[in-house]
Structure 1
Amino acid sequence: MSTILVTGADLAPQAIALLEGHEIVYAGKAPTEDDLVALCRAHDPVAIVVRYGKVGAAVMDAAPSLRVISKHGSGTDTIDKAAAQARGIEVVAAAGANAAAVAEQALALLLACAKSVVALDARMHAGHWDKATHKSLELGGRTIGLIGLGAIGLRFARMADALGMRVIGFDPYAANLPPHVTPVDLPAIWRESDAISLHCPLTEDNRGLVNAGTLARCKRGVILVNTARGGLVDEAALLAAVRSGQVGMAGLDSFAVEPMAAGHPFQGEKNFVLSPHIGGVTGDAYVNMGVGAATNVVHVLARQPATN
């Protein structure tokens, strides 16, 4: 019986059912590279389903029978795709499986920032009534700039359009955009947006895309939402921009280093709304991502006959 390694503690039962006939080995919720290498040496999996941790060349070399690495989700930046290609290992993702969940989280963060939801909640619980002094931002008529127009970005665009926002977007790979999304170049995103939401994968080309230079080109008081990857943002530059008021609010679900370590400079900082990379973590998305990842494994294994 061939083995499938899951870099997590569980899979949805619907996904497990699809992998019937294989032994499934779980690496736990926070596997290190050494953990994954040891498990690969012990079990020589034909497939790895990636939930947590990174899968690099050392892990691949410890599993000579490995034929497919399947992401439990859409972002494959934790997989060394060049190393996989060099070894003839296919990398696949469950694209779109968590699109609704992540788009909803982006909307929640945008609204939390625009409407001061977190700060007003804390003030109310402390016994204050700020009606006479507080003014929220109305999003209707404002411009939202989207970077990335894949399944998540387009889902979020529909929500923003429903709020009456003008939606502009940058994505060099997008085609056949709906009429409510106006394609623009990247400089227009910085120049025209009242709020910016990131929905692109992390690559070496766009690492640190949001930095001191690009933030300085934005409208003063812009809202930044990131439910994509933390590496897209220069965190020190963002902190400085929020403190100066150049960025009015930041709603973040992704960070450069995860989990966020104690003492991170964002912690306790006003005008940041933070969530622990749970945009895609809903009951429905858990099933969708598991089924998508398992289906991809089954398809690749059926297409690629074993060579050893």
Structure 2
Amino acid sequence: MSKVLVTGADLAPQALALLEGHEVVYAGKTPTEDGLIALCKTHDPVAIIVRYGKVGPAVMDAAPSLQVISKHGSGTDTIDKGAAKARGIEVVAAVGANAAAVAEQALALLLACAKSVVQLNARMHAGHWDKATHKSLELGGRTVGLLGLGAIGQRFAKMADAMGMRVIGFDPYATNLPAYIPSVDLDTIWRESDAISLHCPLTDDNRGLIDAQTLAKCKPGVVIVNTARGGLINEADLLAAVRSGQVASAGLDSFAAEPMSAGHPFQGQERIVLSPHIGGVTSDAYVNMGVCAAKNLLAVLARRATANA
């Protein structure tokens, strides 16, 4: 029986049902490269479903039968795609499977920033009543700039448009956009946005895209939201911009290094709202991503089996 390695501790029952006929092996919640190499050497999987950890050339070389690496989600930056291509291993992703979940998290973070939800909650629990002194940001009529207009970005744009926000977006690969998402260049995003929300994959070209230089081009008091990848932001530069007031607040669900270590400079910053990369972690998205990851890998295996018949 062929093996499927999951770089996690579990998989949705609906996904497991699709994989009936394959033996599923789990790497646990915090897989290491050495651990994955050992499992690959022991089980020689035909497919890997990537939930946590990274899959690089050493892991691939430990599994001679490996044909496909399937991401349990949409971001494939934890998979060495160049190494996979060189070895004839296909990389597939569950694009759009968690779009609703992540877009809703982005909106929640934007609203939390604009309405000071976290800070006011803490003040109320401490016995304060700040009605006479607090003013929040009204989002209706404000401009939100989106970096990335895939399934998640477009889902977020639809919600922002419904709230009466003006939406603008940058994505050189997006086509057939709805009328309420005009495509603009990056300079327009920086210049015109009252809030910026990141929805793009992390690449070598956009690593550290949000830094001191780009933040200086933004409107004073801009709000930054990131539910994509932490590497898109230079964290030291963002922190400096929050402290100076150039950035009014930031809502972050992903970070350069995860999990966040104790004593991280963002901790304790009242104008930075944090969540532990759980934008795509809902009961529905868990099922959707598992099912999509299973279907994707089975499609690759079936196509290859037919080609080799």
The TM-score bracket by the shorter chain reads: over 0.9
Instruction: For 1:11, give the aligned amino acid.
Output: L
Report 1:175-186 matches (<5 A).
Answer: 175-186=175-186
Instruction: Write the distance in 2 (CA, Å) between the matches of 1:32 and 1:74.
Output: 21
Displacement after TM superposition at 1:305 (Å): 2.6
1:163-182 deviation per Cα after TM superposition (whole angstroms, max 9, x unaligned): 10000000000111101111
Instruction: Write the distance in 2 (CA, Å) between the matches of 1:73 and 1:177.
Output: 23
- Whether 2:249 is the aligned partner of 1:249: answer yes
- Whether 2:289 is the aligned partner of 1:289: answer yes
- After TM superposition, what 4+ stretches of structure 1 lie above 2 angstroms from structure 2? 305-308
Instruction: For 1:16, give the aligned amino acid.
Output: L
Name the SS for the 1:167 alignment partner. strand
Instruction: Write the distance in 1 (CA, Å) between the matches of 2:207 and 2:217.
Output: 18
Name 2:65's counterpart in structure 1: 65
Name the SS for the 1:85 alignment partner. helix
Displacement after TM superposition at 1:270 (Å): 1.8
Report 1:108-257 matches (<5 A).
Answer: 108-257=108-257
> So what's the TM-score if we normalise by structure 1?
0.99
Cα RMSD, aligned residues only: 1.1
Name 1:298's counterpart in structure 2: 298
Instruction: Write the distance in 2 (CA, Å) between the matches of 1:126 and 1:99.
Output: 36
Q: Runs of 5+ in structure 2 lacking a partner?
A: none
* Identical columns (%): 81
Note closer, same or farther for the CA distance 1:21–1:182 as it changes in structure 2 (3 Å cut).
same
Instruction: Write the distance in 2 (CA, Å) between the matches of 1:205 and 1:238.
Output: 19
Instruction: Write the distance in 1 (CA, Å) between the matches of 2:82 and 2:179.
Output: 37
Instruction: Write the distance in 2 (CA, Å) between the matches of 1:196 and 1:69.
Output: 32
Name 2:38's counterpart in structure 1: 38
Instruction: Write the distance in 1 (CA, Å) between the matches of 2:120 and 2:237.
Output: 26
Instruction: For 2:243, give the aligned amino acid.
Output: R
Instruction: For 1:267, give the aligned amino acid.
Output: Q
> So what's the TM-score if we normalise by structure 2?
0.99
Name 1:91's counterpart in structure 2: 91
